[in-house]
Amino acid sequence: MPTPDLTRGAMTGLKVVDLSRVLAGPLCTQMLADHGADVIKIEPPSGDETRGLGPPFDENGQAAYFGAVNRGKRGMALDLSRAEGRAVLEALLKDADVLVENFLPGTMERWGLGYEADLSARFPRLIYCSISGFGADGPLGGLPGYDAVLQAMCGLMSINGTQDSGATRVGVPIVDYVTGYNALTGVLLALAARERSGRGQRVEVTLFDTALALLVRHAANWICSGNAPGRLGSAHPNIAPYDKFAAADGEIFLGILNDGQFRRFCQKVGRGDLLDDPRFRSNADRLRHVAALRAELERTLAAFKSDDLCRDLMRAGVPAGAVNTVPQAFAQAHVAHRDMLIERDGHRAPGLPVKLAQTPGDATRRPPRFGEHAQEILTEAGFDQAAIDGLIAAGIITSQK
């Protein structure tokens, strides 16, 4: 087997069969594609649901949501509910390294495609990544899971928002998003283990586990103190001042972690007197008197323009940033410097957040149109034209819409 050219990405030479839909699984496989993997996205005959989650839609009638997590892949539509469709999938798995799926637990087993009972013996090097809401067993096993529902169940909503707003969903689908990263981590760990053992393994990731793990300091604070965390708006339960404040022409966020930063901040805004106030001498003191500290800072910051203040504070080593809208965020000059807004083949999207010096990734291919690459995928898998035409005629393969 020839050595892959890793200058095209660290995952070059890796073949991934992606049976997942919506967000967590597709995000995982998109990141593999960004770094060179050949990702074959297999959709049901009805398509991935996210193709219709709009507006906005692109010029091909495809929702922007779908494009956000499916670039870099080749696509085909396959009816896995039929034996002929499952036979096609098995042909694709003969030389696959990774399979990612997020069906309800038990679905693959009912199709005769379960990892332990069916696939592991036939494809011993295959890494099988299963993503679900709660896992297959236990009190909640097999139940469907969605990001916002898990935010509610696992306490994330209870710590987000203000006392007035009540429990509030985090504005991005954070549980789905981090589940996708956890799935990627699990696949990479399994690939590293395969290098030593020669065998693949099952990787299991659930939204439930991810949501609980996201609580981090809030869970740690509760375990240590016994006190249930509450809603603090944009504030931090362990650090002050670490919050959003109004300036003369907009809002800024101060992330002051230690006493040295607080000292430099006070000097920059002309409030050296706060350093001598016993209420504010240490972080613990500032936390105990956080309401009084907020009153002092709001009165002071109202005289400063947000951009000028943040620039001067950052140059002094004090973390501070304007509270931007999404368009304002992408208008920052540093976005272009970091190549974080890309355009490839007519597809515009945020850039790659992971940058490797020797094996850099690249968003090389726009998201696939529905069923777009079935012909070439099946040809590579050994199907002749008559067989491909037969699969299309029988409705096993769905041609482009």
Provide mean pLDDT across the span 368-395: 95
Q: Are 246 and 301 spatial neighbours (Cβ–Cβ below 8 Å)?
A: yes
pLDDT tens by residue, 146-205:
999 999 999 999 999 998 999 999 999 999 999 999 999 999 999 999 999 999 999 999
Total domains, the chain? 2
Burial class (CB in 10 A: 0-12, 13-18, 19+), 165: exposed
Tell whether omega for the bond before 241 is within 30 degrees of 0, i.e. cis: yes
Q: Please indicate, yes or no, whether residues 142 and 168 belong to a single structural domain of this protein.
A: yes
pLDDT in tens, 118-161: 999 999 999 999 999 999 999 999 999 999 999 999 999 999 99
Same domain, 260 and 388: no
* The predicted structure's pLDDT at residue 40: 98
* Residue 364 scores a pLDDT above 80: no
Same domain, 294 and 353: no
φ, ψ of residue 341 to 5 degrees: the values are -135, 110
Known catalytic residues?
176
Are residues 268 and 192 part of one domain?
no
Are 56 and 181 found together in one domain? yes
pTM score of the predicted model: 0.92
Q: Which of 280, 312, 331 is the last residue of a domain?
A: 331
> How far does CA 62 lie from the centroid of its chain?
21
Cα 357 from chain centre: 22
Is residue 296 domain-shared with residue 366, that is, in the same domain? no
| Of 370, 280, 343, 268, residue with least CA distance to 310 | 268
231 falls within a domain: no
**Which of the listed residues 302, 331, 360 is the one where a domain comes to its end?**
331
CB 156 within 8 A of CB 214: yes
Give the per-residue SS3 of 83-123: HHHHHHHHHHHCCCCEEEECCCCCHHHHCCCCHHHHHHHHC
Which residue has 């699969």 as its token pair?
Answer: 391
- Residue 127 main-chain phi, psi, to 5 deg: -100, 120
The overall average pLDDT reported for the chain is 94
One-character DSSP codes across 173-197: -HHHHHHHHHHHHHHHHHHHHHHHH
Same domain, residue pair 325 and 354: no
Distance from chain centroid for Cα 26:
9
On the CB side of 216, CA atoms within 13 Å amount to 4
Q: At what angle do helices 259-268 and 306-315 cross, to 10 degrees?
A: 130
User: What residue spans of 123-165 are helical by DSSP H?
Assistant: 147-153
DSSP string, 301-316: HTTS-HHHHHHHHHHT
- CA–CA dist 58, 135 (Å, integer): 35
Residue showing tokens 């002094």: 316
For the domain that residue 317 is a member of, what is the CATH number?
Answer: 3.30.1540.10
- Residue 328: enclosing H or E segment and its boundaries? helix 326-331
Domain extent, residue 114, equals: 6-214+341-398
pLDDT in tens, 26-69: 999 999 999 999 999 999 999 999 999 999 998 888 899 999 99
- 292 occurs within a structural domain: yes
Sign of CA dihedral 258, 260, 262, 264: negative
Confidence bin at 2 (pLDDT 50/70/90): low
What distance in Å separates the CA atoms of residue 90 and residue 85, rounded to the nearest whole number? Answer: 9
91 and 205 housed in the same domain? yes
Q: Which of 292, 307, 331 marks a domain boundary? A: 331
